[in-house]
Amino acid sequence: MMVQRKISSKLIELLKSFPVVTVTGCRQCGKSTLLKNILPDYQYVSLEDIDIRQIAQDDPRHFLSVYSKKVIIDEIQRVPTLLSYIQTYVDSVDECGIYVLTGSHNLLLMQSVAQSLAGRTALLTLAPFSVEELKSASLLPESVNEMLYKGSYPRLYDKKISPIDYYPSYIKTYIERDVRLLQNITNLSAFTRFLKLCAGRCSQILNVSSLAEDAGITRKTAESWLSVLEASYIIYLLKPYYKNFGKRIIKSPKMYFYDTGLVSFLLGINDSSQIESFYMRGALFENFVFSELLKKRLFAGKTDELYFWRDSNGIEIDVLEEVGVDLYAYEIKASETLNNSFFSNIKKLKDLAAIRLENAAVIYGGNQNIPATNFSGAYISWRSIT
């Protein structure tokens, strides 16, 4: 079954306004499938193909003469020098919707795009399936525990692959191809161990020194490896809210993964039934909800203006979202039971942060949705994050 991706309408809209649209995102999140499906009249070429890549590297002008109009160029970061030639070509043609570029490496790709295609390309980020996409295709797992365990990578649903078969292959491919391309990491087993340690710290304030010490590496190496995980869309570092309300606030980011299925595998979970009593179930649920809030913005083509708040007294709001001049606040609770005490931190900060209760919500592990009132924010089921 083809899952309708929420990002499709934004991509088609941008192709009418820009000569180039660049789609980034983690490996195997469905970029190529999406583009081939919604742009059937576009020619597709992948720079993963060694022969094609050689032509693009050795004779870029000839490459662009062959692939000149309505072309999807996959894994563009493989030949970053091609971007300068694309810039010259699209400037001479002066049309919209000429190329769609894709890549799995934010760092390599964005450096090259910033240099060569500034003002000429729109940028979109794809991620694994969202809850809304899975629900629309009648593929949403029955229980929240199954959702946390399985994750959202398309191949799990398209090919009905078991998570315990999928994720070892995914990690092996990711490390052998993407990590080596991004950085010359020689000790791949140490990097894998580092990745597992990061999984054990999902939804937590990032302490780089502690992480480095536990991994047996220097702080500088830990920072470098974190940048690799960020650049390849494995982890996301959520910044604290940048406005200081006259209080001492935590300045370190919180670390989340784009997908909880990958986290579950890295933590050694091999069945969804283990999630229920797992000591990190709350952290996994928080990670899952945050990734859904992030996908909602990314798939709409919006910047990722999401933050968290924690002050020196330990008062925390899990996620703050800026929407124009309004500030939305979300608390994340794995509990299936409604409890008005979940709003206590939001109520403590609502006047200071100018948060209206109608813009506040608890996203929780139950199935019931309750709208906001004058005295309380809304309750949103994990099944209804849209």
Per residue in 214-255, pLDDT (tens digit) is 999 999 999 999 999 998 899 999 999 877 565 667 789 999
| Residue 46 CB partners (closer than 8 Å, separation 6+) | 32, 52, 73, 74, 75
How much is the pLDDT for 251?
84
- The C-alpha atoms of residue 162 and residue 45 are separated, in whole angstroms, by 30
The number of helix segments (H) and strand segments (E) in the chain equals: 17, 13
Torsion angle (degrees, nearest 10) of CA 177, 184, 128, 369:
150
Average per-residue pLDDT for the chain: 91
3-class secondary-structure state, position 38: helix
> What are 91-101's pLDDT values in tens digits?
999 899 999 99
User: Distance between alpha carbon 290 and the CA centroid of its chain, in Å?
Assistant: 10
- The C-alpha atoms of residue 187 and residue 177 are separated, in whole angstroms, by 14
Q: Which amino acid is at 134?
A: L
How much is the pLDDT for 296?
96
User: Does the pLDDT value for residue 313 go beyond 60?
Assistant: yes
| Residue 54 CB partners (closer than 8 Å, separation 6+) | none
Q: Angle 143-339-241 (CA atoms, 0-180°, nearest 5)?
A: 90
Instruction: For residue 107, name the pLDDT band (cuts at 50, 70, 90).
Output: low
What is the average pLDDT across 136-148? 97
> What are 184-215's pLDDT values in tens digits?
788 888 999 999 999 999 999 999 999 999 99
Helix (H) or strand (E) holding 336: none
DSSP string, 168-212: HHHHHHIIIIIIHHHS----HHHHHHHHHHHHTTTTEE--HHHHH
> What are 344-360's pLDDT values in tens digits?
888 888 777 778 888 99
Which two tokens mark 136? 């629309």
- The C-alpha atoms of residue 320 and residue 307 are separated, in whole angstroms, by 5
Looking at the DSSP bridge assignments, the partners of residue 285 are none
Question: In terms of pLDDT, which residue wins out, 112 or 162?
Answer: 162
Question: In terms of pLDDT, which residue wins out, 40 or 339?
Answer: 40
DSSP string, 263-296: HHHHTT--SGGGTTT-TTHHHHHHHHHHHHHHHH
What is the average pLDDT across 35-42? 96
Which two tokens mark 146? 């199954």
